[in-house]
Amino acid sequence: MKHHRKNYRKRRNLTSVSTGILEQSNTMASELKIFSGTAHPTLVDEIAKYLGVPRGDATVNTFPDGETFVKINENIRGRDIFFVQPTCPPTNQNLMELLIMVDAARRASADRITAVLPFFGYARQDRKDQPRVPITSKLVANLLVAAGVDRVLTMDLHAGQIQGFFDIPVDHLYAAPVLINHLRSKNLKDNLVVVSPDVGGVKMARAYAEALGAQLAIVAKHRVSATEVEAMNVIGDVDGCNVLLVDDITETAGTLTAAAKILKEKGAKSIFAGVSHAVLGEMGNKRLNESAIEELLCTNSTPYAVGEKVTSLSVAPLLGEGIRRIHHDESVTSLFDIV
């Protein structure tokens, strides 16, 4: 009898220990960790603040020969890991940093790794538009999956079909709700026309026009080179109207400023521009400052959204909420709604 009681106590103690280990494991698996590379730590800090968690401790630096070194300085075994890294300039450096961080996390036994790409570099190389050229956005998708990424969270891809380049889940958010809510506060509704600077952006322009209760127009353009655009004609009436030019990305501001010039010639009263991603350099800011555009509204998806005429709106709450919902296995669909 004593022997049976002894075995029962032993089994009960083992069960108790096993339950404790399981509870500890579940606690670790549910813990969210957010890390940043060197691309845009300010945005990552804003996202971490929104989520109420500290930014993860990681060392990311460069050796004298240009190689990237990464070390994650805390335990991430069984954790839900989010790496936030826009692949903006220096594009190759930032992309390589992300791949190396992912590899480090995978080898450290992270439970799930999500790559958060506020800005997806190489998105415009999404098809073969001439002989013997690569489809680089597909290559980047393959590299991320091969490195160990389990899921991608991104915003305003240049081409929506890039989601299909990944063999893992992709959550594609839109900056439109952030930009439109700000535009409504500017009281531009009266006599407003939303203009797409090219035929390819009509779908986006129509969404803005419907949300703002505005008319729609299109600028037919001809691209001369990667940095030079020749605007051709305006389809629609902008005479005496407030104009909002919308696009997904601007770098040299060639498309926007060429469109603004012809819109002004057609009688536009005031011209504003709204873009999801501003990757502005010296040339872009110079063109904006010399153009008819009064203000460029954009998001802080990259650290280059700065300039005399630039107003940068934070997407940290949008991305932070997307991260929170992914972590808790909730739907992100309602984040698309424009209230």
pLDDT number for residue 29: 44
Start-end ranges of CATH 3.40.50.2020 in the chain? 27-174+318-336, 177-313
- Alpha-helical (H) ranges within the chain are 2-29, 41-51, 91-107, 136-147, 176-184, 202-212, 254-265, 282-290, 316-327
For residue 323, which phi and psi values (nearest 5 degrees)? -65, -45
pLDDT number for residue 111: 97
One-letter amino acid of 307:
G
pLDDT number for residue 131: 94
For residue 50, give both structure tokens: 């929104």
- The stretches in the chain having pLDDT less than 70 are 1-30, 189, 221-232, 338-339
Contacts of 27 (CB under 8 A, 6+ apart): none
Residue labelled with tokens 């680089």: 136
What CATH code is assigned to 177-313? 3.40.50.2020
pLDDT number for residue 242: 92
For 289-333, the pLDDT digits (tens) are 999 999 999 999 999 999 999 999 999 999 999 999 999 999 998
What is the architecture of the domain spanning 27-174+318-336?
Answer: 3-Layer(aba) Sandwich (3.40)
Residues that are catalytic: 221
pLDDT number for residue 25: 43
pLDDT number for residue 35: 98
pLDDT number for residue 226: 60
